[in-house]
Amino acid sequence: MPALSSFDYAVLRVVPRVEREEFLNAGVILFCLELRFLQARVHLDQERLCALWPDLDLNVVQLHLEAFTKVCRGDADAGPIAHLPQRERFRWLVAPRSTIIQVSPVHSGLCDIPESQLARLFQEFVLP
């Protein structure tokens, strides 16, 4: 049996109107320090989101979600945060914020293949 490594993850949420406490899960960030893995997957269900907030600019929301994936990858065009070490990038990405894109509390687990774990979490929490 392969050795298991600990990982942390959080769910990305689109919160169109904070006062209504409604949100739509739109992505997952997974970080595994031991295996040097930091990745996010995002999916914006436009139909469901428009049901919550018909006037929302979906292109802007998509750009903000994609910024999370760019920071995880350390893309050069993702700004100074993308140049930080993985651990610091993850902590910055999951920090509480009051914007339209919010992050769930961080949860932990064990896995042997982070890519597979991310796919499972994405399927469970994001995809309809």
* Structure confidence by residue, pLDDT tens digits, 53-99: 899 999 999 999 999 999 999 999 999 999 999 999 999 999 998 78
Give residue 22's pLDDT.
86
Whether residue 2 has pLDDT greater than 80: no
| Beta carbons of 44 and 58 less than 8 angstroms apart | yes
Contacts of residue 93, Cβ cutoff 8 Å, sequence gap at least 6: 10, 29, 40, 68, 71, 72, 103
| Beta carbons of 12 and 25 less than 8 angstroms apart | yes
Give residue 83's pLDDT.
95
| Beta carbons of 109 and 5 less than 8 angstroms apart | no
pTM score, two decimals? 0.93
